[in-house]
Amino acid sequence: MEIPENESSALDTIEHELYDPKKKMEDPTLHSVREVRNLDLPTSWGETTPIIKEVHEDGALSFGAKFLIISLILLILSLGFAAWRILSSRNVVSSGNIDMSMEVLPYIEGGQATPLTVTLQNRNGSALQNATLTLIYEQGTGSQDQQQKINEKHDLGTVGVNEYKKQDFQITVYGSESESRDIQMKLEYKVAGSNALFNKVVTTSVILKTPPLSVHIDGPSTLSIGQEGTFTFTVKNNTATTSLPSTLQLMLPTNFTVTDVSPKASTRGQLWDIPALKQGDTQTVTVTGSISGSTGETNTIKALIGSKGGIITSIGVVYATQTFDIQLRSSPLSIAIGMDTERGSSETLRYGDKSRITITYANSSDSTLRNVSFLMNIGGDAPLLKDVDPDIGYYDSRAQTISWDKSSVDNLDALPPHAQGSFTVTIPIVNKGTNSPSLNITMNGRATMKDKDDVTSKISKVWIVQGSATLSAQTAYKNSPFQNSGPIPPQPNIDTTYTAHIIVSAQNALVNSKVSFILPAYVTWRNTTSNNSSISYDSDKRTVTWNIGRLEAGKTITADVGVSVRPSQSHVGQTPAITSGLVLDADEEISKAHIRTTVSPLTTNIFGESWTVDPSRVVDR
């Protein structure tokens, strides 16, 4: 490619600018120069003119020098303050400068006096004034806190500077074997020039060995629900000397039913007086009973042995305790109770019913149950005991029990795994009686699986006889506690007043009982009643309510309500209603059954009164 003659290349242009002799030299431009310092440099190397000239600077201190001086001043002040504090604190007393320790055997015999030594040294620069040592520990774990807490105090007076003090104590501790108990030592003191009371506390622990009196519980750790078990409580003297008289206290579960105790408890409830015991002697108490509850539930018995308490219903210092857990299991002998009547399958009873009780039993285990037997207890005031009729078994009318065993039921000699059976009892119910009579049935079953009578089962059921309530009402004009007026027979568009006479009675006691009815549009509330405190009228709902409340069993009560009736022309020849249907609502006090009884509306039809004309039908004038 050829370059035109009239055009020069870029290289030629740069070369021309660099080597142009006519171009004038330009002074260089200095950038970013903050200060220009003129130095007087020598113009020759003569001996009289030095090459480097001494520069005389300003005499002010630099920042570094100032910082160093200030730091030195602060250091001197700090050292001076520290020296002053050290010299002035010679009279300050610190608990850290008091060495205090307790020397006692780590394992001690329960109920025996054990020596304890306290040593202390005052390393403060001032004396400890009015110094006292207080030994604090719990002697036992009984119900009387003041009898358990020990506070033993010793005065030390003044403890001088670097003085060494030693004080001896004795401790006596009661409790269960291997129980740990904290021993606390408290030093209280004052210092000169102050009324404040200072203290220092140190603590050590001891472990109890065999208690002087111990208690041990033996008995079954597993019981079926309702199964009886016997528990033995053994008190033993572990000391080498005769013990003092003591008290055994038992804490039984609330669902533990005691059936036998030997010996009998004292008059203080579940407490037994234990006489003085010689070395190694024992005293036993046995308690037999059953536990109710749920399968898998754990119940705990607790026994305490200690000194006699300060009050008649308590134990004093507790020497030893033991707990015993009992787990409830489901019985392999299951029992179920059902009931029906001639009215059908129902769990409710009425007066005059003939109840049919069905007992169903089964072996729910994988082992054979032998010598199975059942005993039914019949109770309550509802059954007619003389007419009780079991299909099989023996009925003892005197004891009011029915028994079944292998002599009356074939398979009760040996009940195979998962086998079952049933029997029935017919029990008639009274026609009338006390308030809400009841039928009580309790079934007890026994069997042998490994040991004699080691399987038990119990079930109870109660039926309360439900009664009925009677509600009746009638319309009155002459036979009324208040005066009535208006034409009889009634006439259209003319007011005639009537009295609604209401009667209520019940077989069983009622609560929350009330009678209510609604007034038609042509009937007016007169605000005239036999009991204004219990009878009210709601004008919005046009409802009359008689709040009876509680009604005693077998009692009959009445109420009267005055109304005014203005028949219309359409009522001519009729006996128009003067109320809606009357309703009795109530709850039985004992059975809690709800009763609701309804009767037809009251009309202008008058009963029980003598009239020469028909007084009930509306007639036209």
- Per-residue pLDDT tens over the stretch 336-364: 999 999 887 677 899 999 999 999 999 98
How many helices (H) and strands (E) the chain has is answered by 3, 37
- Domain 95-208 belongs in CATH node 2.60.40.10: yes
Measuring CA to CA, how many Å separate 162 from each of 125, 131, 165, 546? 8, 15, 10, 94
Q: What per-residue confidence (pLDDT) applies to 146?
A: 41
Per CATH, the number for 333-466 is: 2.60.40.10
> What fold does the segment set 213-329 form as a domain?
Immunoglobulin-like (2.60.40)
Q: What per-residue confidence (pLDDT) applies to 118?
A: 93
Distance of alpha carbon 263 from its chain centroid, rounded? 35
Paired sense of beta strands 455-466 and 349-350, if any: parallel
Q: What per-residue confidence (pLDDT) applies to 143?
A: 44
Q: What per-residue confidence (pLDDT) applies to 57?
A: 52
Phi, psi of 19 (to 5 degrees): -110, 20
Phi, psi of 411 (to 5 degrees): -80, 0
145 three-state secondary structure: helix
Q: Are 194 and 169 a contacting pair, CB within 8 Å? A: no
Q: What per-residue confidence (pLDDT) applies to 478?
A: 94
Encode burial over 102-136: b for 16+ CB neighbours within 10 A, e otherwise: bebeeebbbbbebebebebbbebebbbeebebebb
Q: What per-residue confidence (pLDDT) applies to 412?
A: 93
Q: Are 583 and 600 a contacting pair, CB within 8 Å? A: no
* Intervals of the chain under pLDDT 70: 1-11, 13-61, 82-92, 141-148, 176, 267-269, 310-313, 345, 453
For 13, the enclosing helix (H) or strand (E) is helix 10-18
Q: Are 420 and 363 a contacting pair, CB within 8 Å? A: yes
Indicate the domain borders of the chain: 95-208, 213-329, 333-466, 469-599
Find the distance separating the first CA and the last CA of the chain, reported in whole Å: 146
Q: What per-residue confidence (pLDDT) applies to 479?
A: 93
d(CA 574, CA 618): 6
Closest CA to 349 of 421, 471, 433: 433
**CATH superfamily label, 469-599:** Mu homology domain, subdomain B (2.60.40.1170)
| Furthest-apart CA atoms within the chain: distance in Å | 175
70 three-state secondary structure: helix
Question: Which residues make beta-bridge pairs with 283?
Answer: 235
Q: What per-residue confidence (pLDDT) applies to 20?
A: 64
pLDDT tens for 393-412 read 999 999 999 999 999 898 89
